Structure 1
Amino acid sequence: MPDAPPVPAFPPEDYADRLARLRAAMAAAGLDALVVAVPENICWLTGLDHWGFFACHMLLVPREGEMLLVARAMERITVAAQVLNAGFRGHADGEDPALHAAEGLTELGLAEARLGIELASLFLTPRIADSLRARLPRAAWADASGMIERLRRVQSPAEQAHTRAAARAAAAGTAAAIAALRVGGSDREAAAECHRAMILAGSEYPGFGPFIRPSARLGEEHTTWRGERFRRGDAVFLEVAGSVARYQAPMGRLVYLGEGPPGLDRSAALAAEGMAAIVAALRPGATAGAVYAAWHAVAAAAGLDRYHRHHCGYLVGLGFPPSWTGGAGVTGLAPGSELVLEAGMAVHAHSWFTGMGEGTGLADFFISDCVLIGETGAEVLTGDAPVTPLVG
């Protein structure tokens, strides 16, 4: 069983480097301070890793001096144990967090400064944001959403090590779930075995799922097990992410029980070819749109030029529930995207051939893997998990 990562997950110099990079970005944007409210961004800057983020946390980041974390007072012990580079200001339940953030900014001499705020946070409610801005009417406010996310896209070697460990756990969980599939068995059994194997392989709680669902709910993007029994010929969708030090490594498989529909072999071959095209295209300097085009070229060569997906993957990294995408948005490998890829980016790559309607001659099939972009090409991190169209 793997050892637990340290808490905080990185040495002080790593957090100091991240803060310096953020302050350089703040200076370029003309900001004197930043109100950080995205849990992943607070974790990236301080190492804070707990479930308490469900209640709004605000990390006040001045251009100079110590940061200040505003959160529920009951989180003081956790913060003291995990956060070594920021002060703490706690508030009682029922108090307005914005009051304490405004007082903290005032004490830092920033009541009339140029302030950025992460309005795209899932946990900074409009009420709290409006209250904070109303309490500091002389400040010049700007929406700084996405500033830190852009800095987080490229993972350091230490971050990549956590992603690799998460990928090993995801592959173990996926293999265990596939081994548990049987006609008459329950999706609960598959979910239980998936969790057991993944946790024993070193995973913490992931941002999502795992998603496990049979043919009847194949198209329901974000539903999972609920006690259904598998039937012969069912397609079982599995999408699983391991998580280590909050770094997410998702992957997925589609498996048929006992027998598959006509055209399954061709669909499986196309999905594998599509995945190979994605991996080959994931290189530093390529655009996300070019990667999608490489995947779509496989579909077009098979006579499916009108078949499109909204993307063929997306960036992953540090992530808290309720998703493994690292916040409120998705940075996808989407048609026409001009995002330039860099070494150190991790991607959940998808090769889907599903739901194309009648007349295609193809069965539903799906493969996804966690892929790390290196200096000269890409590496599939979850390749140890089985890729098999049929089980049982």
Structure 2
Amino acid sequence: MDRNPFSEAEIDGRLAKLRNLLGGRNLDAAVIASPENVFYLTGLDHWGYFTPHLLVVPQEGKPVLVTRANERWTIEKRVKAAEFRSHSDSETAADVAAQVLADLGLLSKQVGLEYWTAGLSHGLALALQSKADAKWSDVSGLVDKMRRVKSAEEQVLMRRAGKMSDVAASAAIAAISDGASEQEVAAQCMSAMFRAGGHVPGFGPFIRPAARLRETHTTWGDGVYRKGEPVFIELSGCISRYHAPLGRLIHVGQIKDEDIAMAQVNAKAFDAVVDALRPGAIAREVFAAWRAVVDDAGLSDYYRHHCGYLIGVGQPPSWTGGNSVIGLRPDSDIVIETGMSFHILSWLMGTGRGDDFVSNTVLLGDGGAELLTATPAGPIVR
């Protein structure tokens, strides 16, 4: 978070590709508002995205980044591909962005805007459109699709993030025992990751007893772990906003035979997903590979909505890359491509015949599927 993680050539290539896509839609410019996409197109890695950042990308000339005036030092030091136009706290980003559009001769022109992003409030979008008389159209998802395939520079960051995930998971697992404080386990997890060179993740880690398993996005409390109750961990290391999550189920003191048996099914199902991740495959086919193993195990009535999702850039409060989850679902027609990375989850919890959970980040590289997280799958008993 102390530097721009991308080369100038990398950023220039992304902007050129975006302009080509805009040209294909007969657009003269676009206003990018998603924090993940602003980061992707500029390399601006900071915690300032809690306020709007509007990146105006014209077909010709340098992009212009509009945000609060007190971000000037950070942006001018780290962002080389865009000019900075600031607004005071008595103005809004819409006020200045509208003036930028006027200065660039884009009023009455065809301008795209990301409608579907948490980075653009409804009120700010209305204000921008009322102040700038352009011909607006929705370009939501345009940059997001560019981000699906990771470049060589991004893959380096993903691999480093995977190593941070393993460091954090190993520390958490080592700290779990009968009577261990939930807070102490979390502290060991986070401190190990930071000492190893990791950055603050988009959210998590999620570490909680099985009694609170269904509380999807809650984490540790002030209790202690007890023998016989499993502990759920799902976490991600982070390097320059890139994430590589993993998940495990930790058994405290003992494990049931039925859980051992379910872990075997789960491992087979996970491997089936990895084997199915090939260029040209369809996401629903990958899910079907996971489903087939589960069905063969006699669990055809068991329901899961996906077996993984695309992963990479993530701004708080998420590591999924925005306010949506692009999953390997039974109804998804996304085509799998080399360079994509996934958080693959094999989740068999609440089956009535035993419980197990394992997840890893998988990068589909030139040589095939590569696991970026190497923490032993288990079953893990502490």
Q: TM-score, normalised by structure 1?
A: 0.95
Cross-structure match for 2:378: 388
The alignment status of 1:97 with 2:55, answered yes or no, reads: no
Of 349, 354, 379, the residue aligned with 2:370 is 379
Aligned AA for 1:93?
A: D
Q: Indicate the SS of the match to 2:173.
A: helix
Cross-structure match for 1:263: 258
Q: Using the alignment, how far apart are the partners of 2:57 and 2:143 within structure 1?
A: 12
Q: Which moved more, 1:304-313 or 1:165-174?
A: 304-313
Of 280, 283, 288, the residue aligned with 1:285 is 280
Of 46, 53, 60, the residue aligned with 2:49 is 53
Aligned AA for 1:97?
A: A
How do 1:48-127 and structure 2 match up within 5 A? 48-127=44-123
How do 1:295-310 and structure 2 match up within 5 A? 295-310=290-305
Give the aligned length: 382
Cross-structure match for 1:131: 127
How do 1:1-392 and structure 2 match up within 5 A? 7-137=3-133, 139-356=134-351, 360=352, 362-383=353-374, 385-392=375-382
Q: Using the alignment, how far apart are the partners of 2:269 and 2:204 within structure 1?
A: 25
* Maintained 8 Å contact 1:284/1:376: no
How far 1:50 moved relative to its partner?
0.4
How far 1:262 moved relative to its partner?
4.6
Alpha-carbon displacement from aligned partner over 1:110-158 (angstroms, at most 9, x marks no partner): 0111111111221211010000001123x11111110001011100111
Aligned AA for 1:263?
A: E
* Maintained 8 Å contact 2:249/2:380: no
Q: Using the alignment, how far apart are the partners of 2:97 and 2:273 within structure 1?
A: 45
Q: Indicate the SS of the match to 1:378.
A: strand
* Maintained 8 Å contact 1:235/1:257: yes
How far 1:376 moved relative to its partner?
4.6
Q: Using the alignment, how far apart are the partners of 1:336 and 1:123 within structure 2?
A: 28
Aligned AA for 1:295?
A: W
* Maintained 8 Å contact 1:9/1:245: yes
Aligned AA for 2:67?
A: A
How far 1:85 moved relative to its partner?
1.2
* Maintained 8 Å contact 1:283/1:376: no
Change (3 A) 1:6 1:18: farther
Once the two structures are aligned, what percentage of the paired residues are identical? 47
Q: Which moved more, 1:374-383 or 1:108-117?
A: 374-383
Q: Using the alignment, how far apart are the partners of 1:94 and 1:376 within structure 2?
A: 53
How far 1:6 moved relative to its partner?
7.6
Q: CA RMSD in A?
A: 1.2
Alpha-carbon displacement from aligned partner over 1:9-65 (angstroms, at most 9, x marks no partner): 111111111000000000011211111011111111111010000001100000110
* Maintained 8 Å contact 1:353/1:366: yes
* Maintained 8 Å contact 1:182/1:257: yes
How far 1:337 moved relative to its partner?
1.1
Q: Using the alignment, how far apart are the partners of 2:170 and 2:5 within structure 1?
A: 28
Unaligned runs of 5+ residues in structure 2 are none
* Maintained 8 Å contact 1:166/1:202: no
* Maintained 8 Å contact 1:283/1:375: no
